[in-house]
Structure 1
Amino acid sequence: QNRDLKDALIFELGQATFDARGAVEARNMAKLADLGFRFSIDKVQTLDLDFADLQRSDVRFIKVAADLLIEQLLDLDGAAPLPSQPDIRAGDFAPLTRRHGLELIAEKVESEKQVVDILELDIAMGQGHLFGEPRAIKEAVLAETDPPAEFVLSTLKSAEQRVRL
Structure 2
Amino acid sequence: MSVFPNDAKDAEELMRHADVAMYRAKQEGRNRFSFFSHDLESSIRERHQLETCLRNAISHDELFVHYQPKINLATNEIVGAEALVRLVDSEGVFISPNEFIPLAEESGLIIRLGNQVLYKACAEAKSWLDKGCNIPISVNVAVAQFADPHFANIIEKALHDYQLPAELLELEITETALMIDAAEMQTRLYQLKSLGIKIAIDDFGTGYSSLAYLKKFNVDVMKIDMSFIKDMLNNKHDYEIVKTIISLGQSMGLSLIAEGVETEEQRQALLELDCLMGQGYLFSRPLSANDFNAFILQHKVN
**Under TM normalisation by the shorter chain, which class is it?**
0.5 to 0.7
> Hey, what's the Cα distance between the residues in 2 that align with 1:70 and 1:138?
29
Counterpart in the other structure of 1:9: 169
Q: CA deviation at 1:126?
A: 0.6
Q: Is the 8 A contact 1:93 1:121 kept in 2?
A: no
- Please name the residue that 1:134 is paired with: 286
Q: Which residue of 2 aligns with 1:112?
A: 264
Displacement of 1:22 in angstroms is 3.9
CA change 1:25–1:135 in 2 (3 A) is same
Relative distance call for 1:96 and 1:124 in structure 2 (3 A) is same
User: Is the Cα contact below 8 Å between 1:42 and 1:62 reproduced in 2?
Assistant: yes
- For residue 77 of structure 2, what is the aligned residue in structure 1? none
Q: Distance in 2 between matches of 1:73 and 1:93?
A: 16
Partner of 1:65: 225
Cα gap change, 1:5 to 1:52, in 2 (>3 Å): farther
Instruction: Show CA shifts across 1:59-88 (max 9, x none).
Output: 1111113441475798336x974xxxxxxx
Aligned residues: 131
Other-structure match for 1:18: 178
Name the residue aligned to 1:39: 199
Query: Relative to 1, partners in 2 of residues 1:120 and 1:48: Cα closer, same or farther, differing over 3 Å?
Result: farther
AA matched with 1:103: S
Correspondent of 1:123 among 262, 275, 284: 275
| AA partner of residue 137 (structure 1) | A
Counterpart mapping for 1:54-93 below 5 A: 54-69=214-229, 71=231, 75-76=235-236, 81=241, 91=243, 93=245
Displacement, 1:47?
8.6
**Which whole-Å CA distance do the structure 2 matches of 1:45 and 1:92 have between them?**
10
Give the distance between the partners of 2:275 and 2:201, measured in 1 at CA. 16
Gapped regions of structure 1 (runs ≥ 5):
82-89, 142-165
Task: Look up the SS of the partner of 1:130 in the other structure.
Answer: coil
RMSD: 3.3
In the TM superposition, what is the alpha-carbon distance from 1:107 to its structure 2 partner?
0.9
Q: Distance in 1 between matches of 2:198 and 2:222?
A: 12
- Distance across 1 between alignment mates of 2:207 and 2:231: 10
State, as a whole percentage, how many aligned pairs show the same letter: 27
Amino acid corresponding to residue 252 of structure 2 in structure 1: H
1:121 alignment partner AA: L
Counterpart amino acid of 2:273? L
Distance change in 2, residues 1:34/1:96 (3 Å): same
Aligned mates of 2:254, 2:289 — CA distance in 1? 30
Distance 1:123 1:70, change over 3 A: farther
Q: Is the Cα–Cα contact under 8 Å of residues 52 and 100 in structure 1 kept in the other structure?
A: no
On the 8 A contact 1:70/1:117 being kept in 2, the answer is no
Secondary structure at the residue paired with 1:7? Answer: helix
